[in-house]
């Protein structure tokens, strides 16, 4: 595509010394600024001290992205935050959807059981925090470009830490390196939007921390990051931590605890009815902190629950007084099943449109929000025995029709979906009674973009597909429905080779990118 300066963009970099120089600059900048990940065990045979870091995969140039689409996605985020806060509060509605998928999905069933156990004794914390990310691709229909939502993440929405750094990298290169290329590129800073995703997410955590208030037991309060063992994406999480300490005058104690260690290092206060979550740091167990916010960067998939005790750990967090980010209900609101029912038009479903249930037009101002949200949906079908489900089953099992779809289970973290001709194959493997735990979604086909990815020190040049994520932070009261904070909190651009189905950076398919607005 033509660049804002009229040159071919991005340049192909045929000149080897020019290319090597740019790559070296990026290698150094990424490490110097924490745009980095821990190396995979396969790459490093001997890092027993855990001291090594490597550059996160990035594009050499910011990918062109339609400005109107970018602005639309940002503008709608607070509406999405509110929508998902409302869904999280509607236990009855979620219950119905959980029942529809739980038969074929033990993980969702177990999550629901955690909620039911806590409900029985009564929740002691009514505040809930969402650090959300709504993901989109641009859909091209003739000349018309429209963002279509890929999914809405309500748990462990990642890359907010690295994403701001990627925007800074491309801004830096625009100042120092691109002007030196033979096809001199001057990207005006107006086309490279600011991106304070780390600060935005940290501000959400800080707001919840403050809303929790002081410890009635006289302890210092803290934020606890619950993380995966051997997490490679640790610097992404650290950036949020560092932003927390600069965004607030008073430093907030933050600790990282592997999800597998919850029961070893936390307890619930025994002497009071408050069920305060108490944390004793392993290196100094004589200290006790009261956890104000439990921020889950783990616990989103079955792999984090290898035993019954892992479920007990999740139960401990859920029944405690800590503000969970997310609670089980908020996590379940992020099921692909929820997205499917929201996107199912009234005429297809026997129930009234789910979106209308959560975005009523009772004051005549809701309709703009309803229409704006509706525009971002693409076709998603149930695979149940309803009329819409039967039609979807026909499409999913047809060897030609299936090529337009992706089939998704109720999973997070990448690598779980079935694409095109793999759909009928997969359906053959599972009992028909369990098909309803999947949804069938039309594939979005964005306009072609070319870029070069630097991954593991190697360049990959060619057609790419970009996925935009918009972060949102929302703090609300489950009991009263009051929304105490609702902010759009920065963006993520992830880019993958156009031959790859999945786009996850952590899963090894995608890379970090930033937007050149066109
Ligand atoms: P996860 O929660 O595991 O990230 P996603 O729904 O985001 O699941 O799917 C993973 C990836 O699959 C996305 O990042 C995207 O690259 C691709 N994908 C998912 N849905 C679609 C779709 N409707 N059209 C095109 N690509 C899709
Ligand atoms: Mg995703
Ligand atoms: Mg997801």
Which ligand has the shortest distance to the CA of 417? 1
Asked whether the predicted pLDDT for residue 97 surpasses 80, the reply is: yes
pTM, entire model: 0.96
How far apart, in whole angstroms, are the C-alpha atoms of residue 488 and residue 75? 8
- What lies within 8 Å, CB to CB, of 80 at 6+ separation is 132, 134, 152, 373, 470, 472
Of 133-137, 296-300, 363-367, 424-428, the poorest mean pLDDT is in: 363-367
80-86-323-129 Cα dihedral, nearest 10 degrees: 10
| pLDDT band (50, 70, 90) for residue 367 | confident
Nearest CA to ligand 1 atom 23: 443
Q: How far is CA 33 from CA 19, 29, 201, 273, in A?
A: 21, 6, 19, 45
109 lines ligand 1 (CB under 6 A): no
> Which pLDDT belongs to residue 189?
82
379 lines ligand 1 (CB under 6 A): no
Q: Which of 402, 417, 438 to mutate to test the pocket of ligand 1 (most atoms within 8 A of CB)?
A: 417
> Which pLDDT belongs to residue 73?
98
Q: Find, among 153, 121, 490, the residue nearest to 330 by Cα.
A: 153
Q: Which of 406, 468, 510, 511 to mutate to test the pocket of ligand 1 (most atoms within 8 A of CB)?
A: 406
Mean pLDDT computed over 314-319:
98
414 is in an annotated binding site: yes
Which ligand has the shortest distance to the CA of 155? 3
182 is in an annotated binding site: no
Average per-residue pLDDT for the chain: 93
User: In the chain, what are the domain boundaries?
Assistant: 16-378+458-517
| pLDDT band (50, 70, 90) for residue 2 | very low
| Cβ atoms of 431 and 476 closer than 8 Å | no
Q: What is the number of other CB atoms lying within 10 angstroms of the CB of residue 348?
A: 16
467 is in an annotated binding site: yes
| pLDDT band (50, 70, 90) for residue 247 | low
133 is in an annotated binding site: yes
497 lines ligand 1 (CB under 6 A): no
Mean pLDDT computed over 65-75:
98
- For residue 103, give the 3-state DSSP assignment: coil
275 is in an annotated binding site: no
Structure ipTM? 1.00
Active centre residues (catalytic): 133, 151, 153, 158, 336, 408, 412-413, 494
> Which pLDDT belongs to residue 270?
83
Using a CB cutoff of 5 Å, list residues around ligand 3, an ion: 151, 153, 412
> Which pLDDT belongs to residue 3?
46
443 lines ligand 1 (CB under 6 A): yes
Nearest CA to ligand 1 atom 4: 414
> Which pLDDT belongs to residue 501?
76
Tokens of 306: 């290898």
**Ligand 1: which atom is nearest the Cα of residue 416?**
3
**Ligand 1: which atom is nearest the Cα of residue 414?**
3
């Amino acid at each position: 595509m033509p660049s804002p300066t009229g040159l071919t963009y991005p340049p192909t970099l045929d000149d080897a010394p020019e290319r090597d120089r740019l790559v070296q600059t990026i290698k150094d900048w990424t490490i110097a600024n924490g745009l980095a990940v821990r190396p995979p065990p396969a790459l490093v045979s001997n890092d027993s001290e855990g001291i090594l870091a490597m550059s996160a995969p990035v594009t050499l140039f910011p990918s062109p992205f339609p400005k109107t689409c970018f602005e639309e996605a940002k503008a709608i985020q607070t509406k999405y935050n509110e929508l998902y806060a409302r869904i999280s509060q509607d236990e009855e509605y979620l219950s119905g959807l959980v029942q529809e998928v739980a038969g074929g999905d033990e993980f969702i069933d177990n999550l629901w059981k955690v909620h039911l156990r806590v409900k029985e004794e009564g929740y002691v914390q009514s505040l809930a925090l969402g650090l959300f990310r709504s993901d989109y691709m641009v859909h091209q229909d003739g000349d018309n470009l429209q963002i279509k939502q890929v999914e809405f993440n309500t748990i462990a929405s990642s890359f907010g830490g690295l994403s701001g750094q990627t925007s800074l990298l491309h801004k830096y290169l625009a100042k120092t390196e691109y002007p030196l290329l033979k096809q001199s590129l001057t990207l005006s800073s107006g086309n490279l939007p600011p991106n304070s995703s780390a600060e935005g997410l940290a501000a959400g955590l800080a707001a919840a921390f403050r809303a929790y208030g002081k410890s009635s037991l006289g302890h210092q309060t803290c934020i606890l990051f619950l993380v995966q063992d051997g997490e490679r994406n640790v610097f992404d999480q650290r950036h949020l931590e560092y932003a927390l300490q600069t965004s607030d005058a008073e430093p907030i104690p933050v600790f990282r605890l592997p999800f597998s260690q919850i029961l070893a290092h936390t307890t619930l206060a025994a002497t009071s009815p408050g069920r305060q979550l108490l944390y004793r740091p392993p290196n100094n167990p004589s200290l006790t902190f009261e956890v104000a916010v439990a921020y889950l960067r783990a616990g989103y998939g079955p792999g984090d629950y290898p035993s019954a005790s892992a479920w007990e750990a999740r139960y401990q967090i859920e029944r405690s007084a800590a503000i969970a980010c997310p609670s089980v209900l908020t996590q379940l609101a992020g099921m692909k099943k929820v997205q499917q029912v929201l996107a199912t038009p009234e005429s297809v479903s026997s129930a009234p449109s789910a979106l209308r249930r959560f975005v009523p037009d009772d004051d005549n101002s809701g309709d703009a929000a309803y229409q704006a949200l509706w525009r971002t949906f693409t076709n998603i079908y149930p695979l149940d025995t309803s009329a819409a489900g039967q039609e979807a089953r026909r499409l999913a099992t047809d060897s030609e029709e299936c090529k337009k779809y992706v089939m998704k289970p109720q999973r997070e973290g990448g690598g779980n979906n079935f694409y095109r001709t793999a759909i009928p194959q997969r359906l053959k493997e599972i009992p028909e009674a369990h098909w309803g735990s999947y949804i069938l979604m039309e594939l979005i086909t964005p306009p072609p973009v070319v870029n070069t990815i630097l991954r593991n020190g190697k360049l990959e040049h060619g057609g790419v597909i970009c996925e935009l994520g918009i972060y949102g932070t929302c703090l609300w009261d489950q009991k009263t429905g009051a929304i105490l904070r609702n902010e759009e909190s920065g963006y993520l651009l992830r880019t993958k080779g156009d031959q790859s189905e999945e786009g996850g950076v952590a899963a090894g398919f995608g890379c970090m990118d930033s937007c050149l607005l066109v």
